[in-house]
Chains A and B, each alone.
Chain A
Amino acid sequence: MTTRKEQHAITAIEDDSLFTFAHYDPEAAERTGYSDYSYWGSTIRIFLKNKTAVFLLILMASLVLFTIIQPYLPNQKDPNKIHIDPETGYQLRNHSPDGEFWFGTNVIGQDLWARIWSGTRTSLLIAILVGIWEVVFGIFIGAVWGYVRQLDALITEIYNVINNIPNTILLMLLAYIMRPSFKTMVIAMCLTGWLGMARFVRNQIVIIRDREYNLASRCLGTPTHRIIIKNVLPYLVSVIVMRIALSIPGTIGWEVFLTYIGLGLPLETPSLGNLLNEGRRVMMSSSLRYQLLFPAAVLSVITVSFYVLGNAFADAADPRNHY
């Protein structure tokens, strides 16, 4: 501890005039407590700090944009057209990638570049449709499940039944019964996909209904719609975005699976699953391996990107990571 002498030494230096009262401003004291936190602002800021995520976001946006405009670019070939070699008059089979056919041709002479982008369009379309349905229907059922207590037991039992039959089997069965087609695939995956979202929303609603901060809001007289908008919705929106992002690789995975076992889209409709299968047939020969590599590469990039994006968004939206 400082001794009396030391104290004198220190204080002796000070100017005596400083020992008068300073002006006391209670308002200024109160001002130190202000916080300008904004949930979405913080979420976006933290997301943007994740360089990988931003990169992938730009990549995916460009990719999706590209798949949409690709057919309208100059020099694009029809994915189903079989090309004939002008010199020999035969089909241009298994032509390696070159200046004219950027990804080469497949075993019947179709342009792989065009087929891949067409396939990506199809697969992405399925994935997005299923994803949107999952969210819309899932939230609806989940909300009803959570709010309407009388339906709780019924919906729980339905959920249990569908949940207990392994997805693989359900999808295979449905595709088998309804005959493989674009519509079948979308419907089948929609039938199984809403489960996760519904359960989640239902749990949230049951919890949130009685959670203390909502009770507190109600006690303060906050109207119900404001509680929903300010307390419940921000959380739901972030979950929705995340689930759509994560369901895309999932749906593409199921599509590949169903195609693998022969219940996928018919061959005239290129899809990433189809292309993968076609490539698989010729993969043993290394000169033809490009037919497998290109679809696989595109598939991997898309699935990994959406997966990472979904998780990155989930992390950014978590208020515990905010500052």
Chain B
Amino acid sequence: MLKYSIRRILQSLVTVFIVITVVFLLMRLLPVEGYFTERVDKLTPEQQEAILRKFGLLDPWYIQLKNFYASLLKGDLGNSIIYRPNVPVVDVLRPKIPYSFGFGIASLVLSLVVGLAMGVHMAKEKGRFWDKVWTSFVVFINAVPAAVYLLFIQLYLTHITKLPILFSKDSFVSCILPTISMSLGGAAGYAMWMRRYMVDELNKDYIKLARAKGMPNKDIMVRHVMRNAFVPMAQYLPSSVLFTISGSIYIESLYSIPGMGGLLVDVIQRQDNTLVQALVLIYSVLGIFGLFLGDILMAVFDPRIRLEKEGGAR
């Protein structure tokens, strides 16, 4: 187990290194206007040059890279330029993260619970009425772009249920609709996965053996099938958790939630390059970290992975 973890950490670090460098180089392609607080035409070429020099943008790329890593290691992601001039990036982000994370976790839990239950029901009722009903739901959510159905949910559901349209800190009920909306995509995904997995597993030999030895169906479902189904899913859970930080762009803008989701869109539109760079970096690293955690989690549940290096008897 330890060997496996170390191997994965090293792999992830290599990928992180490459990704950061790639992101960094990509950032150099950003429009130059993003570094100026005032309109480009208002500045003389000398002034533009001076500002760019201050940011170190005129240095050769390897010097820039070195400086970049140096400040990264100090925890300095730079200051925002346009969005909140001269405010350190970390201070811009700090108040926003709890919102995104909070909604994200809530909807993740909801989508897991609802999705898995739906998937189990679909597998049990395979081919019959409820299977078709849930399948239509899943198909709709998967096929139609989220922007479309989220819009309609906000439009019509608030009308019907009289729930508040916009989020406000003091009102708990205003959290309900955004959370439910956010959980739909995940629920559909988990449902489909669970259904497919259960249908496949139910035909496996070890399930037949469990039946033959006299285990009631319910016990088989819980102790063998669902537990086994969970393992491959565990791989993606940490990533899902970490991604909640990035926030849902649609939901947050539709319901005016002051989270991270809208931030990236905002800063891209306003061309605040430092923030863009910082955000891209954070999300990428989070992604890699999430995958790494997922692999470790999988190894915890699936003995075949962690024991493969220690040589089991064959």
Touching chains A and B, CB distance < 8 Å = yes
Complex: A164 Cα to B242 Cα, angstroms:
13
The interface residues of chain B lying within 8 Å CB-to-CB of A165 are 19, 22-23, 280, 283-284, 287
Mostly helix, strand, loop or mixed at chain A's interface?
A: helix
Whether the pair B26, A177 counts as a contact (CB closer than 8 A) is yes
Which residues in chain B, 271-311, are within 8 Å of chain A measured between CB atoms? 276, 279-280, 283-284, 287-288, 291
> Given contacts A164-B287, A168-B249, A169-B284, are A256 and B148 in contact (CB under 8 A)?
yes
How many chain B residues sit at the interface, stated as a range, is 35 or more
**A177: B residues at CB distance < 8 A:** 26, 29-31
Report which of B139, B147, B249, B279 forms a contact with A276, defined as CB distance below 8 A.
Answer: B147
Give Cα A263 to B265, complex, Å. Answer: 9
Per-residue contact bits, chain B 223-253, to A (CB 8 Å; 1 contact, 0 not): 0000000000000000000010010011000
B89 lies within 8 A of chain A by Cβ:
no
Q: Is B173 at the interface (CB under 8 A from chain A)? A: no
Write the nearest CB–CB distance from B145 to chain A, whole angstroms.
4
Q: DSSP majority for the B interface?
A: helix
| Residue of B19, B145, B288 contacting most chain A CB atoms (<10 Å) | B145
How far apart sit A262 and B267, CA to CA, in the bound complex (Å)? 12
The answer to whether B209 has its CB under 8 Å from any CB of chain A is no
| Max count, chain B CB within 10 A of own CB: residue among A164, A169, A172 | A164
Q: Does A109 contact B (CB under 8 A)?
A: no
The proximity string for B residues 173-186 relative to A, scoring 1 for CB distances below 8 Å and 0 otherwise, is 00000000000000
Is A183 at the interface (CB under 8 A from chain B)? Answer: no
How many A-B contacts at CB < 8 Å in the complex? 103
A300 to B149, CA, bound (A): 9
Verify B143–A304 contact, CB threshold 8 A: yes
B151 near A: Cβ within 8 Å?
A: yes
**Cα–Cα distance between A3 and B31 once the two chains are bound (Å):** 99
The verdict on A176 contacting chain B, using a C-beta distance below 8 Å, is yes
Q: Are A166 and B287 also in contact (CB < 8 A) when A177-B26, A262-B265, A296-B148 are?
A: yes
CA distance A260 to B26 in the complex (A): 23
Contacts A261-B249, A283-B155 given; indicate if A161 touches B143 (C-beta within 8 A): no
Known contacts A173-B26, A253-B145, A283-B151; A164/B31 CB under 8 A: no
B147–A164 touching, CB < 8 Å: no
Docked Cα-Cα span, A307 to B135, in Å, equals: 12
Q: How many residues of A contact B (CB 8 A)?
A: 34
Residue of B nearest to A248 (CB): B143
Contact B148 A161 (CB under 8 A): no
A260 in contact with B147 (CB, 8 Å): yes
A308 contacts B by Cβ under 8 Å: yes
User: How far is A261 from B30 in the complex, measured between Cα atoms in Å?
Assistant: 17
Name the B residues within 8 Å of A260 (CB-CB): 147, 249-250
What residues of chain A lie closer than 8 Å to B144, measured between beta carbons? Answer: 249, 299-300, 303-304
Question: B8-23, CB under 8 A of A: which get 1 and which 0?
Answer: 0000000100110011
C-alpha spacing A157/B145, complex, angstroms:
31
Task: Assess A169 versus B145: contact at CB under 8 Å? Given A160-B15, A161-B19, A283-B155.
Answer: no
Residue A292 lies at the interface, judged by CB distance under 8 Å to chain B:
yes
Which chain A residues (220-259) contact chain B, with CB distance < 8 Å? Answer: 249, 252-253, 256-257
Asked whether, in the complex, the Cβ of A164 is within 8 Å of the Cβ of B269, the reply is no
Q: Is B140 positioned at the interface, with any CB of A under 8 Å from its CB? A: yes
Q: Is A194 an interface residue (CB 8 A)?
A: no
CA distance A166 to B291 in the complex (A): 12
Contact of A256 with B268 in the complex, beta carbons under 8 Å = no
Instruction: Determine the distance from Cα of A262 to Cα of B31 in the docked complex, in whole angstroms.
Output: 16
**Cβ distance A257 to chain B, nearest Cβ, rounded Å:** 7
In the assembled complex, the CB of A41 is this many whole angstroms from the nearest CB of chain B, namely 25
Bound Cα distance from A24 to B246, whole angstroms:
78
> What distance in Å separates the Cβ of B144 from its nearest Cβ neighbour in chain A?
5
B143 touches A169 (CB 8 A): no
User: Are B280 and A304 interface neighbours, CB within 8 A?
Assistant: no
User: Is B152's CB within 8 Å of the partner chain A?
Assistant: yes
Instruction: Quote the shortest CB–CB distance from A147 to chain B (angstroms).
Output: 24
Q: A259–B115 Cα gap in the complex (Å)? A: 29
The answer to whether B264 and A300 have CB atoms under 8 Å apart is: no
Distance between B10 CB and nearest chain A CB, rounded to angstroms: 14
Q: Which residue of B lies closest to A277 (CB)?
A: B147
Contact of A306 with B by CB under 8 A: yes
Residue numbers in B under 8 Å from A218 (CB-CB):
none
**Assembled-state Cα–Cα distance A173/B265 (Å):** 10
* Known contacts A169-B283, A261-B249; is-contact A161 B22 (Cβ 8 Å): yes
* Closest beta carbon of chain B to A121's beta carbon, Å: 18
Residues of B within 8 A of A253 (CB): 145-147
Closest to A179 in B: B31
Residues 185-235 of A at the B interface (beta carbon under 8 Å): none
Apart from A257-B147, A263-B268, A299-B148, what are 13 other A-B pairs with CB-CB below 8 Å?
A: A157-B18, A161-B18, A161-B19, A164-B15, A164-B288, A169-B283, A172-B264, A172-B268, A177-B26, A177-B30, A296-B151, A300-B148, A311-B139
Q: Which residues of A contact B (CB under 8 A)?
A: 157, 160-161, 164-166, 168-169, 172-173, 176-177, 249, 252-253, 256-257, 260-263, 276, 280, 283, 292, 296, 299-300, 303-304, 306-308, 311
